[in-house]
Amino acid sequence: MGRTFWLPFVKGGLFMFFYDCIIFINPFLLNALLNFVSQVGDPETKQTWHGFIFAFGMLFASLFGVLCMHHHFNFTYTVGLRLRTALTSAIYRKSLTISQNARRSATVGEIVNLMSVDVQKVADACSFVHYSWSSPLIFVVTVYLLWGLLGPSTMAGIGFMLVVLPINSMVLAKLIREYHVIQMLLKDARLKLMNQILTGIKILKLYAWEPYFASKILEIRNNELKNLRKSQTVGAITYVLWFCNSFLVTLFCFTAYVAFVSLSLIMLLNMPLTILPPAIMMMVQAFVSGKRIEKFLLLQDIDEQNVTHKEDKEFAVEIKDGSFSWGDETLKPTLNNINMKVKHGQLVAIVGPVGSGKSTLLSAILGETQKLSGSVNVNEKMAYVAQQAWIQNLTLRDNILFSERYDQARYDDVIEGCALKPDLSVLPAGDLTEIGERGINLSGGQKQRISLARAVYHDADLMLLDDTLSAVDAHVSKHIFEKVLGPNGLLKNKTRILVTNNVTLLPQVDRIFVISEGTIGEQGSFEELLSRDGSFAEFLRTYMTDLEEADDVDEERQFQQELMKLHEKLATSTSSIPNSPAVATPIKGDPIASSGGEDAVSHSEVFSYQSDSWRRPRKRHLTSELTDKLIQEETVEEGAVKLSVLRAYITSAPAMYPIVLVISFVFFVIFNCCTNIWLSKWSNDPVINGTQDRELTKVRLGVYAALGGGQTIAVIGVIWAIIFGCMEATRTLHSKLLQNIVRCKMSFFDTVPLGRILNRFSKDIDVLDVSIPQFSQSLLTTLCPLVSTIIIISYTSPYFIAVVIPLLIIFSALQRVYVACGRQIKRLDSIRKSPMYANFSETLSGSTTIRAYRHQDRFVSQSDFLLDESQRVWFQVFSSNRWIGIYSEFIADLMIFFTALFAILQRDTLDPGLIGLSLSFAFQINMSITMTVRCTCELETYIVAAERIKEYSDVENEAPWLIETHRAPEDWPSDGVVQLKGYSTRYRDGLDMVLKDITIDIKPQEKVGIVGRTGAGKSSLTLALFRLIEPVTGSICIDGLNVSEVGLHDVRKKLTVIPQDPVLFSGTLRFNLDPASNFSDPEIWLALEQAHLKTFVCSLPNKIDHECGEDGSNLSVGQRQLLCLARALLRKSKVLVLDEATAAIDLETDDLIQSTIRSEFKSCTVLTIAHRVNTIIDYDRILVLDKGQVSEFAPPQQLLQDPNSMFYALAKDAGLV
C-alpha cells in the first residue's frame, strides 16, 4: 500500500509540515502585539498602524494555515478513499479464489464484516497518520520555545508529560489494541450467526427456534459490549491524562512576566494532545483491522494446478491416480485412487450411495477440491449445474443468459428443452419476472431447471450436472433427457457428465462410473456392467423391487425387459449381496415416476405448448408494481433526522446518563471560564524586584489548582456519561432491532434483500458503538472551550459581541446548508453500500458456479461498479467536509482578527491582563470551531444509523409468540385431527388469494398426500398450517383448537415439518439437531439411528460434536436432509408435514426418508406434499389442489378408477396407470 499511495500521502505530509510551521508564527505575533498595547514611552513607537500590521499578520498566517491543513486533509482522505477501494476490491477478488478448505474459516458474515467495518477503519486512520509525527514535532518545538521563555521551570510541567506519554502511547495503546482484537472477533461471531439466522429464518420460524438463536446473538452482544466498555474506559483514561497535561503544565510553568505568550504556546499543546489520543486509538484499530484483512488475503487459494488444460483430441476429461480431499493433506482423502477417462461427446453417468463422493468427483474436475496426488486434465469450456441451484436476484431471462448475447431462437429452444414454458406462462411478467433473493419465489424444481437452462444456453463443450434431474418430476425428467441431455438432445454433441441415481436413464448413457466409499468401484457401459456382479449390481438391487412392480409404459418397455433379465441373473447368482436395510417398505411404482411437485406439468403442456404468451407479461400484472417488482428499492429519508429518532436514541439510555452529562458540561464551562479569568487576575498582580508576593502566589496557585481539579472532574463526568450512556443506548437499540427482525412476517424477508438487513447489524451498529460516542466526546470537549472563549472575549471587549453575532449567524447558515447536504449524502452512502454487500453475499454463495463458467472477471467488474457507486457518494462526504471546514475556519480567523483589532483600538482603556487573556484564547477559536462544526455535522450524519435501525425496528410483526390468556394444552394435539373450514389466504396485501375456500377434514393418524400442478397452492397450505401466512377468511383447527386463537409458538412447537431445502447452521451436529438443549444424548443418538445417520456420525472424530460448515457445506445434500429427518424424530409431534422434502435429493435418500416415515410416524397424522407420486400412492387419501381450491379429496384407489380425475392424469403422466 505504501508503494502504491506514497505520493499523495507525502504531499499531505508536506502540507501538514507547513501548517505546523505556521502555527508557531502567531505566538510571536501575539508577543509583539502585547508589547505594543502595553508600551509606554515614545508615541512614535505606538502608532496604530504598527498594531494593524500585527493583526493582519495574524489573519493571513491563520488563513494560510487553514489552506495548508485542508490540503492535507484532502490528500489523506483521498488516500483513504483509494485504500478503501483497493481493500474492498481485493477482498472481493480473494473471495473468488479462496479454497474450499480456507473458506470454512471465513464465513459470509465474517467477510462482510471485513468489508463493512475493517476496511472503513483502515481508511479512516489515513487522515490521522501524520499526527503520529506532527504531534511530537509540535511538542518538541513548543518545549524548546517555552524553555527560552521560562527557563528550567519549563521542566516542572513538561516532566509530567514525559511520564504520561509512554503510558498513553505504549501501555494503554497496547491494551486498546488487545481489546479491539477481541472486539472484532466477537463482532465476526455475531455477524456470522446473524447471517445464518437471516438465511434460515424460515426454518427458525417453522421450528419456533427464534428465541434460542436470538439469545445466542444477545449473549455474544453482551460479551461484545463488556469488551467495548473496557476499551472505551482505557480510551477515556488516555484522554483524561492528556487533558490534565495542559492544565498541569500551565500550573507549573506560569509566571506573570511572560504569562500570555507562554500560555499561547502551552495552548498549542492542546491540539496535539487532544488529537493524539483518538489518533492513537484509530491507528491501533486500523492496525488490528489491517492484520485481519491481511490474514484473510493470505488464506489458501484454489490451486490452479489442480486441473490442467492441455489439448487432448481423444479425451475431454482425464484423471490419473487422483486423490482428493476437502481439507488439508493430513486428512483422509475423500476420493482415492481415481482413474477416469471421458471421451469427447460422451454422456457419462456417475452413480453411488449417499456420501460416496459423487459431488466431490465433479468438484475435482472443476478444480475445487484439494488434489493430494495424481493429475486432472480438462481441455474444454465448462458449464456446471450444482445440486442446490444458485439463482441470482435478477430476472429469469438474465439468470439464463448469464451475460451471454440474447439469441431468441436459441433461447426458445433452451426454454422448451428445459420444460420452462408452462412455468413462465403463470409468472406475472413472463421470463422478465424478477426472481427474489435466493430464488424465494420459485420452487426447488423450477430453480434447478433455470440453472440447467443457464448451462445449456452457455453452449459449453463440457457439461457437469450434479444430480440435476432429481429435483424434477418423472415426465419432466424424461422430457429434459430427451430434449437436452440424451442422444438426440440439444447437447448431443457435447461432453456430459451426469451425477444421477435415476436408473431408467442408465441404458442410454455411454459410460457409467460407480462410486463406492471414495473410489471408483466399477466403470463401463451399461451392457458391460450387466455382465458383472459388482457394486453396480448392488446399486441396481437396491431399487429392483420397485422396478419389477413398475407398469409397462410404452416408452420404457424395452428397458423394463432388460432389467427383468438382470434381476433373473442376480437371483441365480452365487454371490450373496444382502439387500439394503435402508428400504423397510417397498415403494410401489416407477422409482422416479412422480407428479404433483412444484414442477408438475403434464405431457400435453410440455410438448404441445406453442404459444409465445410465456414471453410477455400478463396484462393484469403490468399495473401492479408490487407484483412485478418483488425486491423494492431501499427508501431514502429526506430532510432533518426526525425528532422521534433522536428521542428514541436518547431514551434508549437510562435517564441518569443525560442528566449527569448536562450537569457535568455546565460545570465544565463554569470551571473553564473561572480558571481563565483567574489567570488574568493573577497576571495583573504587581511584580516587585522581578517576583510576585509569595503568599498571594500560593493563594493563586491553590485556587487555580482547585479550579483545574474541578474541570478534570467535570470532564470525567462528561466522558463517563457519554461512554456508558451511548453503550446502553446501542444495547437497547440492537436488542429491539434483533427482537423485531426475528418477529417480522415472512413477507418482509421475501421482499427485503438480506444485505440490507445485515448492513444494519454490521455497519450501522458499529457507528452506534464507536463513531457516535467518539464524536460526542470530541464535540463536548471542544464545545466547552469554544463557549468559554466567546464568553471571555465578550467579557473583555463588549464590542466583540457586535461582530461575533453576525459571524455566528453566517456560520449557522453555512452549517445548516452543510448538515442538510451531509445528512442526505450519508443516507445515500448507507443505501449504496447495501447492494454492494448483497452482491458480495450472492457471489460467495455461487462462487463455485462463477468459477466453473470462468465469469470471475465479469463479477469483479460488477462489484467494482457497485463499489464505485458507493465511493462516488463517499467522495462527496469528505469534499463537503472540506467545504464547511474552510468556511468555518475563515469565520474563526475573522474572530481572531477582530479580537486583535479591538485590543489595538482599546489599548488605552483595557486591562493588559484581560487583553492578553482574550488574545491568547482567541487562538483557540480556530480549532474549536473547526472541531465543533465537524463533530456536530458528523454526529447528525451518523445519527442516520439510528434512523435506519429504527426503521427496521418498527416493521410490522407477525402475531404474538405466546398469548398467556389463550395457551394450548400441554398434551395438545393428542389425536392429530386437522380441519380447514372455508380457509382463504394471500401472501401479502394486494396480491391474489393463493388458497380459496378450503374445507377439508383430516382424521387422526391419517396419511394424506397433497398434489397439484405448479401454483396450485400446496406449499401455501403448509405455510398456512404453521401460520407463516394468516387467514383472510375461515380457520384451521387441530384437535378442535383454532390455531389462530393461540400464540404462534404454541402452534409451531407442537407441529413438525421437514422442508424441501435442508438448512443447517454453523455449529455442532448436536446444536443443529437441538439448539434449545431440550433432549439428552441418548435421545439424539436414537434419532440419528432412526434417520440412518448413526454409522456416519460414529465415524466422525468428534461424533455429535462435529462442527458443521456454513450451510452444512461439509455434508452432502442427502446427509443434510437426513439430519432434518432426525430433527423431526426428536420432536415426536402428532402432526408431521413433508413439504416436498425429497424433491431435490437422490432416490436412495428418498427411500431412507420414506422408510423412516412409514415406521416411526405410523401413529401420527402425516401430510406430504408429493414430488414423486409413487411415494404417496399407498396413502389413505389424496388431496388434489388446483388454483388454490380443493379439486379432489379421496383415497388414491378411488381416484385412479376415475379416468377424468386430476389425480388420474397426474398418475398417468408419471407412468403409474
Residues 6+ apart with CB under 8 A from 1145: 467, 470, 1117, 1118, 1121
pLDDT in tens, 172-195: 777 887 888 888 889 888 988 888
- Retrieve residue 650's grid coordinates: 436518547
Note whether 1052 and 1031 are same-domain residues: yes
Q: Are residues 874 and 755 in the same domain?
A: yes
Q: What is the dihedral of CA 22, 26, 29, 30, to 10 degrees?
A: -170
pLDDT band at 456 (very low <50, low <70, confident <90, very high): very high
Looking up cell 509540535, which residue turns up?
138
Give kind and range of the element (H or E) at residue 80: helix 48-95
Residue 407 lies in a domain: no
Residue with cell 456417475: 350
Lowest mean pLDDT among 420-424, 621-625, 1001-1005: 621-625
Q: What is the pLDDT of residue 565?
A: 44
Residues 94 and 179 in one domain: yes
Each residue's pLDDT tens digit, 119-169: 888 888 888 888 888 887 887 887 777 777 767 766 666 676 667 767 766
List the grid coordinates of 577: 449381496
Helix/strand/coil for 418: coil
Residue 1192 — φ and ψ, nearest 5°? -150, 145
Better-scored residue on pLDDT, 455 or 474: 455
Q: How confident is the model at residue 411 (pLDDT cuts 50, 70, 90)?
A: very high
Q: Same domain, yes or no, for 741 and 885?
A: yes
For residue 635, give the C-alpha cell: 427508501
Q: What residue type is 775 in one-letter code?
A: F
Q: Does residue 446 fall inside a structural domain?
A: no
Model confidence at 880, pLDDT cuts 50, 70, 90, reads confident
Q: Tell me if 444 is assigned to some domain.
A: no
- pLDDT higher at 1005 or 1139: 1005
Q: Rounded CA gap, 445 and 504, in Å?
A: 19
Give the mean pLDDT of 377-404. 88
Q: What is the pTM of this model?
A: 0.69
Residues 781-824: pLDDT tens digits?
A: 778 877 887 787 777 777 777 887 888 888 888 878 887 777 77
Q: How many CB atoms lie within 10 A of CB 1179?
A: 19
C-alpha span between 489 and 479 (Å, rounded): 10
H or E stretch covering 1129: helix 1117-1131
* 190 and 84 fall within a common domain: yes
Q: Which of 61-65, 397-401, 557-561, 793-797 has the highest mean pLDDT?
A: 397-401
In tens, the pLDDT along 1018-1044 reads: 888 888 999 998 999 999 999 989 999
Q: What is the share, in percent, of the chain residues with pLDDT greater than 70? A: 81
- Chain centroid to CA 497: 35
Domain range spanning residue 1059?
Answer: 978-1213
* CATH code, domain carrying 145: 1.20.1560.10
- Cα distance between residue 4 and residue 1022, in whole Å: 57
> How many Å apart are CA 592 and CA 582, to the nearest integer?
17
- Range in 614-628, 854-868, 1063-1077, 1142-1156 with the lowest mean pLDDT: 614-628
* CA gap 838, 757 in Å, rounded: 10
What are the grid coordinates assigned to 944, written together?
Answer: 442516520
Average of pLDDT values for 17-38?
A: 80
860 and 842 in a common domain: yes
For the cut 70, the answer to whether the pLDDT of residue 866 exceeds it is yes
Residues 245 and 364 in one domain: no
Residues 246 and 276 in one domain: yes
CB 664 within 8 A of CB 718: yes
Q: Say how far apart CA 1158 and CA 1164 lie, in whole Å.
A: 10
CA nearest to 479, candidates 600, 561, 616: 600
Could you tell me which residue, 744 or 582, shows the higher pLDDT? 744
* pLDDT tens digit sequence for 1106-1127: 888 777 777 877 788 888 888 8
Task: Please indicate, yes or no, whether residues 330 and 284 belong to a single structural domain of this protein.
Answer: no
Check whether 255 has a pLDDT greater than 70.
no
Distance CA 669, CA 658 (A): 17
User: CB–CB of 606/419 below 8 Å?
Assistant: yes
User: Are residues 1048 and 958 in contact, defined by beta-carbon separation less than 8 angstroms?
Assistant: yes
Q: Is residue 716 one of the residues assigned to a domain? A: yes
Structure-model confidence comparison of residues 590 and 541, the more confident one: 541
Euclidean distance between CA atoms 241 and 342, whole angstroms: 74
Inter-residue contact 485 to 497 (CB < 8 Å): no
| Residue 618 clears pLDDT 50, i.e. is over it | no
Nearest to 234 by CA among 182, 286, 278, 186: 278
Measured CA to CA in angstroms, residue 1149 lies from 353, 586, 892, 1118 at distances of: 8, 14, 76, 6
**Is the pLDDT reported for residue 446 higher than 90?**
no
Does 554 have pLDDT greater than 60?
A: no
The highest-confidence range among 292-306, 635-649, 675-689, by mean pLDDT, is 292-306
Q: Is residue 1186 one of the residues assigned to a domain?
A: yes
Residues 130 and 188 in one domain: yes
CA distance 329 to 325: 7
User: Residue 422, preceding bond cis, omega within 30 degrees?
Assistant: no
Per-residue pLDDT tens over the stretch 709-733: 888 899 899 989 999 999 999 999 9
pLDDT of residue 1118: 77
Which whole-number Å values give the CA distances from 1142 to 56, 597, 1121, 1130, in the listed order?
85, 10, 8, 19
Question: pLDDT band at residue 227, thresholds of 50, 70 and 90?
Answer: very high
Distance (Å, whole) CA 108 – CA 95? 10
CB distance 232 to 685 below 8 Å = no
Predicted pLDDT at 388: 81
Which of 1191, 1168, 1128, 1140 is closest to 1007 using CA atoms?
Answer: 1168
Q: Which residues pair with 983 in a beta bridge?
A: 998
Residue the block writes with cell 424424461: 478
* Cα three-residue angle 185-186-189, rounded to 5 degrees: 90
* Run of H or E including 1010: strand 1007-1012
Q: Is the pLDDT of residue 546 over 60?
A: no
Q: What is the pLDDT of residue 447?
A: 85
Looking at the fold, whether 780 and 826 belong to one and the same domain comes out as yes
In a domain, 639, yes or no: no
* Residue 99 and residue 155 in one domain: yes
The distance from CA 651 to its chain's CA centroid, rounded to whole angstroms, is 28
pLDDT at 917 over 90: no
For residue 325, the domain's CATH number is 3.40.50.300
The string of DSSP codes covering 357-416 is: SHHHHHHHHHT-SEEEEEEEEE-S-EEEE-SS----SSBHHHHHHTTPPP-HHHHHHHHH
Q: Edge-to-edge strands of the sheet including 1055-1058?
A: 1055-1058, 1135-1139, 1165-1169, 1007-1012, 1181-1186, 1189-1194
How many structural domains is the chain composed of?
A: 3
Mean per-residue pLDDT over the chain, rounded: 79
- pLDDT-based confidence at 247, cuts 50/70/90? low
- Characterize the bridge pairing of strands 978-985 and 1031-1038: antiparallel
Nearest of 71, 74, 76 to residue 22 by alpha carbon? 71
